Amino acid sequence: MTGPRLTPLSASLPSTVPFVGPEAQERARGRPFRARLGANESVFGPSPAAIEAMERAAAQVWMYGDPENHDLRHALAGRHGVKPENIVVGEGIDGLLGYLVRLLVAPGDPVVTSAGAYPTFNYHVAGYGGVLHTVPYRDDREDALALAEKAREVDAKLVYLANPDNPMGTWLSAGEIAAMLEALPESTLLVLDEAYVEFAPEGTAPPIDAGDPRLIRMRTFSKAHGMAGARVGYAIGEAGLIAAFDKVRNHFGVGRIAQEGALAALGDKRHLAWVIAEVERARARIGEIARENGLTPLPSATNFVTIDCGGDGDFARAVLKGLIARDVFVRMPFVAPQDRCIRVTAGRPADLDIFAEALPGALADARRG
Amino acid sequence: MTGPRLTPLSASLPSTVPFVGPEAQERARGRPFRARLGANESVFGPSPAAIEAMERAAAQVWMYGDPENHDLRHALAGRHGVKPENIVVGEGIDGLLGYLVRLLVAPGDPVVTSAGAYPTFNYHVAGYGGVLHTVPYRDDREDALALAEKAREVDAKLVYLANPDNPMGTWLSAGEIAAMLEALPESTLLVLDEAYVEFAPEGTAPPIDAGDPRLIRMRTFSKAHGMAGARVGYAIGEAGLIAAFDKVRNHFGVGRIAQEGALAALGDKRHLAWVIAEVERARARIGEIARENGLTPLPSATNFVTIDCGGDGDFARAVLKGLIARDVFVRMPFVAPQDRCIRVTAGRPADLDIFAEALPGALADARRG
């Protein structure tokens, strides 16, 4: 019996889970984490209005969600001063990145990103047979002009930039993004992942020109809006490119509860402002804790702080291990030389108390080797 | 400015929405439907336990859902007497069909289905460049042996069969499915879409042999479990094939609320039994209404009844139009010669009262031409 015949491309791909969930770690450990600070979720939760909308939608879940995501798209268009035709809603930025790569990348096509940037983007590129070219970080920030130069060199169809950046937390100014766009070849599309942009200082996001065919921007309800488990992301771009998503997307993929929740979250500006203020406080506190322990926090425009542990990758891994052993879920999604760092999500005061209590022991263990 | 360069395959695809949602029709009409009987949703709603679980999960939605869908997969494995490794959970059967086609179908690869069967499957096949070969229905049922013969003739990688069938509502016996499997080439995979199987008589679903690499079965929480808007489907198959989904799937695609709701729904056998009994009653009532109006209801093992309007496609389309004008949402997702039919979802008594009231006028209009 020969069994199903995978395509040569599918057969060549590994069966992986890009990020192991904290639940899997908890099952393996046999006990829960005390602080969940590893996935840059918003521990401050969704807007009460969003919770109420989702609770209300639960009994209505026998109905498919609107496949056109009409109300949410129109509300987002109003918020961003673009047309609904400039917006596509999808199953998180992860889902939208998959569709975008599928639309643009055939086997062998060149794609550019930073070495150590978002693994799920790389997963999609590999999944469609694209060839990934990388550029190193410069001073722990994405190197926009080097990315543009590499895109020109390899004639990239797509170049990925997260601003603010994950996993470093650092950011570029709107001016730097604009300069990068100017430096890009005309037929290279910049996918600007702005998952964390609500946490960034004014002047981080370039003004939105939805008519620009060189740029597609990704936004999400998973971070500042505290709805990671609802899976709602959206892309803003030129209408022709946005319409192309209808060629390939799972039209009913964003369900009714998710759409209702996102719509309500969008309307609650007060909650968003509160979350952003709490995240600022938490970033400062994480910085203090790091410094008290002789470590260096990197500047952050996100809801996490990347901490330079001052050693090599093995040392940082040992610190991570010590924190996890002390029931603190954190991650270290870096490649060298950024793997000297660990990444800690902005938590509530009680979460950060636990982190503060665990860190000295984790460091002592790591120093003992 | 040249703009983004779509792949030749993507460029060749139309930008479509396979099913226009009732919400879009309501927006165009400027008023809501009085009865929502067009999408085979379960108007009887989800289990109260599922509603409660989803309400509870709403406040926890700041956390990503478990990317391994561990608890739900384990519960499903227990229910079906297979191992968790035989089950993959995805964003509805629609999402899983997309992943399956992507895994198996490269441009030019042959795929077999019935003419007039599930359009979203065809959408995925076209989307990955597969070549669709079709076989006509026979006596308004899928022709299993003709499908197997066609699969052999074209050396199909994949053959699709829905049992019970959508849009006809008819079904094959487990014995007919077993005979079809025996007639298939060894390296053709049968994707058996059992979205409606909970409504079918005993002996419709063949026994589950999860070790059989020739067969993958699709199940869903969208129909009998009343959770269409949550987007949870699953596939049961041989462990190696199931593991291959990890090569391509959106790992965080099934959110926290959806997973919690599905798990609770699975545990509520009483609600499921009640829904099935209500659907049986509704099917009988739809049959009566059809006959009272001189039309012929087809036998159904699903939560809808296909009604033969007794004329040609134009006549059935006119009946459909008359029903929609009378604020009854129904659909006519058929190709000739099945397009003499309309399809009516099993509704609550009040829904069917509205249908009964609207049908005579719709028929009179259609007969006037």
Out of B70, B127, B255, closest to residue A231 by CB: B255
Window B:125-144, CB contacts with A under 8 Å? 127
Tell me which residue in A46, A70, A247 faces B14 most closely, judged by beta carbons: A247
Whether residues B230 and A2 touch (CB distance < 8 A) is answered with no
In angstroms, what separates the C-alpha of A155 from chain B's closest C-alpha? 11
B108 touches chain A (CB under 8 A): no
Q: Is B146 exposed, middle or buried (0-12, 13-18, 19+ CB in 10 A)?
A: middle
Sign of CA dihedral A161, A163, A167, A170: positive
Long-range interactions of B182-187: CB distance < 8 A, separation 24+ = B183/B145, B183/B148, B183/B149, B183/B152, B184/B148, B184/B151, B184/B152, B184/B159, B184/B214, B185/B151, B185/B152, B185/B155, B185/B156, B186/A1, B186/A2, B186/A3, B186/B214, B187/A2, B187/A3, B187/A4, B187/A5, B187/B157
What band does A34 get if pLDDT is binned at 50, 70 and 90? Answer: very high
Task: Decide if B14 touches A, using CB distance below 8 A.
Answer: yes
Query: What does the pLDDT read at residue A3?
Result: 79
Q: Give the Cα-Cα-Cα angle A104, A107, A111 (nearest 5 degrees).
A: 55
Residue B17 has pLDDT above 90, yes or no: no
Fold of B48-267: Aspartate Aminotransferase; domain 2 (3.40.640)
Q: What is the pLDDT of residues B92-125, one digit of tens each?
A: 999 999 999 999 999 999 999 999 999 999 999 9
Q: Is pLDDT above 80 for B238?
A: yes
Integer Cα distance of B104 and A7 in angstroms: 5
DSSP B83-105: -GGGEEEESHHHHHHHHHHHHH-
> Tens digits of per-residue pLDDT, A58-77?
999 999 999 999 999 999 99
A-B contacts (CB, under 8 Å): 294
The C-alpha atoms of residue B44 and residue B271 are separated, in whole angstroms, by 10
Mutate to test the interface with B, among A37, A62, A272 (most CBs of B within 10 A): A62
Closest chain A C-alpha to B128 CA, distance in angstroms: 9
pLDDT of residue B2: 67
Report cis status (omega within 30 of 0) of the bond before B213: no
Give the separation between CA A229 and CA B69, rounded to whole angstroms: 12
Q: How far is CA A177 from the centre of its chain?
A: 18
Spell out which residues of chain A touch residue B230, defining contact as CB-CB under 8 Å: 61, 255-257
pLDDT digits (tens, 9 = 90+) for A245-267: 999 999 999 999 999 999 999 99
Q: Is B241–A3 a contact, with Cβ atoms under 8 angstroms apart?
A: yes
pLDDT at B86: 98
> Range(s) for CATH 3.40.640.10 in chain B?
48-267
Q: Which of residues 156-185 of B touch A (CB under 8 A)?
A: 157
Q: Across the interface, do A62 and B228 touch by the CB < 8 Å criterion?
A: yes
- For an interface test with A, which of B43, B56, B63, B125 has the most A Cβ atoms less than 10 Å from its Cβ? B63
Q: What percent of chain B has pLDDT over 70?
A: 99
Contact residues, chain B, for A91 at CB < 8 Å: 91, 250, 253
CB pair distance less than 8 Å for A17 and B67: yes
Looking at residue A17, its pLDDT comes to 74
Q: Given a cut of 50, is residue B295 above it in pLDDT?
A: yes
Confidence of residue B3 (pLDDT cuts 50, 70, 90): confident
For residue B297, the distance in angstroms to the closest alpha carbon of chain A comes to: 25
Q: What does the buried/exposed string (b/e) look like for A226-250 if buried means 16 or more CB atoms within 10 Å of the residue's CB?
A: bbbbbbbbbbbbbbebbebbbbbbb
Q: For the segment B38-89, what is each residue's pLDDT rounded down to a tens digit?
A: 999 999 999 999 999 999 999 999 999 999 999 999 999 999 999 999 999 9
The answer for B 333-362 residues in CB contact with A (under 8 A) is: none
Model confidence at A1, pLDDT cuts 50, 70, 90, reads very low
Q: What ipTM, to 2 d.p.?
A: 0.96
Does the CB of A155 have a partner CB in chain B at under 8 Å?
no
B260 interface with A at CB cutoff 8 Å: no
Chain B, nearest residue to A90 by Cα: B253
**A324 phi and psi angles, rounded to 5 deg:** -65, -40
**Chain B residues 187-216 within an 8 A CB cutoff of chain A:** 187, 189, 213-214, 216
Q: How far apart are CA B254 and CA B258, in angstroms?
A: 6
Q: Cα–chain-centroid distance for residue A111?
A: 18
Which stretches within B13-115 are classed as H helix?
Answer: 22-29, 48-58, 70-80, 92-104
Mean pLDDT in chain A?
96
Residue in B8, B45, B246 closest to A62 by CB: B45
Contacts of B98 in chain A (CB under 8 A): 250
Q: What is the pLDDT of residue B1?
A: 47
Neighbouring C-alpha atoms within 13 Å toward the C-beta of B111: 30
Question: Binning pLDDT at 50, 70 and 90, where does residue B314 land?
Answer: very high
Peptide bond into A119 cis (omega under 30): no
**CB < 8 Å to B231, chain A:** 65, 252-255
Q: What is the mean pLDDT of residues B134-138?
A: 97
pLDDT at B108: 98
CA-nearest residue of chain A to B242? A15
CATH number of A20-45+270-368: 3.90.1150.10
Is any Cβ of chain A less than 8 angstroms from the Cβ of B9? yes
Do A267 and A120 meet the contact criterion of CB atoms below 8 Å apart?
A: no
Q: Which chain A residues touch B228 with a CB distance below 8 Å?
A: 61-64, 252
CATH 3.90.1150.10 range(s) for chain B read 20-45+270-368
